[in-house]
């Protein structure tokens, strides 16, 4: 069974940077597609970025070049480097895994989720 554990969230000033990590365990990491989603109270979970098993990357429209997703197959970890953060980036960020290797914006098509890490951007 896949287990995911996010880390790296915290409080940052607007314009600053944070790097999130997600440690994967329980299955063969290399074949999974992995993504980051985020959610704020009262809103649906939103696709932030994804990286498939072939290292192709995808981003939500709102990212506009500010975030970079990457994976390290040797460490069973994916990362989300977030730069130029703004107040609208305040959310709980979740890592998600999909066994087919591809990524999708559809929340319901992921096989496993982490518990999340909170990012708060202050003015």
- DSSP, collapsed to helix, strand or coil, labels residue 107 as helix
Distance between CA atoms of residues 79 and 60, nearest Å: 16
At residue 98, the pLDDT reads 96
**pLDDT exceeding 90 applies to what percent of the chain?**
96
Neighbour-count burial of 76, counting CB atoms closer than 10 A to its CB (0-12 exposed, 13-18 middle, 19+ buried): middle
- Tell me the average pLDDT across 71-79: 96
Distance between CA atoms of residues 74 and 76, nearest Å: 6
At residue 6, the pLDDT reads 98
Distance between CA atoms of residues 53 and 65, nearest Å: 21
pLDDT tens for each residue of 2-56: 999 999 999 999 999 999 999 999 999 998 999 999 999 999 999 999 999 999 9
């Amino acid at each position: 069974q896949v287990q995911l554990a996010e880390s790296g969230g915290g409080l940052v000033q607007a314009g600053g940077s944070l790097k999130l990590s997600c440690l994967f365990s329980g299955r063969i990491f290399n074949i999974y597609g992995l993504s980051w989603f985020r959610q704020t109270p009262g809103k649906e979970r939103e696709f932030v970025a994804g990286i498939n098993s072939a290292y192709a990357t995808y981003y939500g429209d709102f990212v506009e070049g500010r975030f970079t997703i990457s994976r390290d197959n040797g460490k069973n970890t994916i990362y989300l480097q977030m730069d130029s953060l703004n107040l609208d980036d305040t959310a709980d960020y979740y890592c998600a895994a999909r066994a087919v290797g591809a990524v999708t914006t559809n929340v319901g098509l992921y096989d496993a989720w982490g518990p999340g890490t909170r990012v708060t951007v202050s003015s």
